[in-house]
């Protein structure tokens, strides 16, 4: 059966996965982009932006691995966009332009219905109002034998983690202190939920920690 994977999820030393005051001008919150400074120099990121070059070291290799074998994605609503409450219209189509980087079905968690949205390059956003379990069932059906990537944000990862539905969780720990924002593991006993640290790798700009469910 396909796995539910969290890949390349960046957090600060003090455990924050996003800064405060997320919105249109600060998609990752204030100072949130500092969390992703391990990813921006990589070749895989530059390729996603249709740019040449980029670094090909440890960080790049781990980021590339995180994109391999993915047949569907799950996103929290905040990862899709800054719009809150009922959808006022269908003008917002994501942060990524006409061709998002997913190239698979993407299941967006929301409390408010919206029609599916087909984008260039094979991405189709499907909006799920029935909760995390329903989104996972739909993603499994869409992914087939391939894995499902849970892209975040923090709230979505916390919900799936509390339910012990995540099979693998890769954290890219950045050497920065945010001080406030959205904390990933606050009040969650990850060990009691059945997870263990399976691997640690030192990258150029982040420490990569891989958690997996114990057999």
Q: Which domains does the chain have, with CATH numbers?
A: 4-82+99-206 (3.40.430.10)
Burial of 182 (0-12, 13-18, 19+ CB in 10 A): buried
Number of H helices, E strands in the chain: 5, 11
The phi and psi torsions of 156 (rounded to 5 degrees) equal -65, -45
pLDDT at 176: 98
Taking the C-alpha atoms of residue 203 and residue 173, their distance in angstroms, rounded to an integer, is 10
The encoded tokens of residue 60 equal 């790049």
Beta-carbon contacts of 33 under 8 Å, excluding residues fewer than 6 positions away, are none
Taking the C-alpha atoms of residue 117 and residue 99, their distance in angstroms, rounded to an integer, is 12
pLDDT digits (tens, 9 = 90+) for 81-140: 998 899 999 899 999 989 999 999 999 999 999 999 999 999 999 999 999 999 999 999
pLDDT digits (tens, 9 = 90+) for 31-55: 999 999 999 999 999 999 889 999 9
pLDDT at 112: 96
Taking the C-alpha atoms of residue 147 and residue 192, their distance in angstroms, rounded to an integer, is 25
């Amino acid at each position: 059966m396909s796995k539910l994977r969290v890949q390349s999820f960046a957090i600060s030393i003090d455990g924050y996965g996003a800064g405060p005051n997320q919105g249109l001008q600060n998609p990752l919150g204030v100072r949130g982009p500092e969390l992703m400074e391990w990813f921006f120099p990589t070749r895989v990121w530059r390729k996603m932006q249709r740019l040449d070059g980029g670094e090909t070291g440890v960080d790049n290799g781990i980021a590339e691995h995180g994109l391999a074998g993915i047949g569907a994605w799950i996103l929290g609503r905040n990862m899709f966009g800054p719009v809150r409450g009922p959808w006022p219209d269908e003008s917002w189509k994501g942060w990524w332009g006409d061709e998002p980087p997913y190239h698979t079905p993407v299941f967006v968690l929301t409390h408010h219905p919206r029609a599916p949205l087909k984008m260039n390059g094979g991405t189709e956003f499907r909006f799920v109002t029935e909760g995390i379990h329903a989104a996972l069932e739909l993603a499994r059906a869409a992914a087939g034998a391939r894995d499902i990537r849970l892209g975040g944000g923090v709230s979505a990862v916390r919900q799936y983690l509390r339910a012990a539905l995540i099979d693998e969780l890769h954290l890219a720990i950045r050497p920065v202190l945010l001080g406030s924002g959205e904390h990933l593991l606050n009040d969650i006993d990850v060990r009691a939920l059945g997870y263990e640290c399976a691997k640690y790798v030192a990258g150029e700009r982040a420490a990569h920690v891989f958690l997996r469910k114990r057999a």
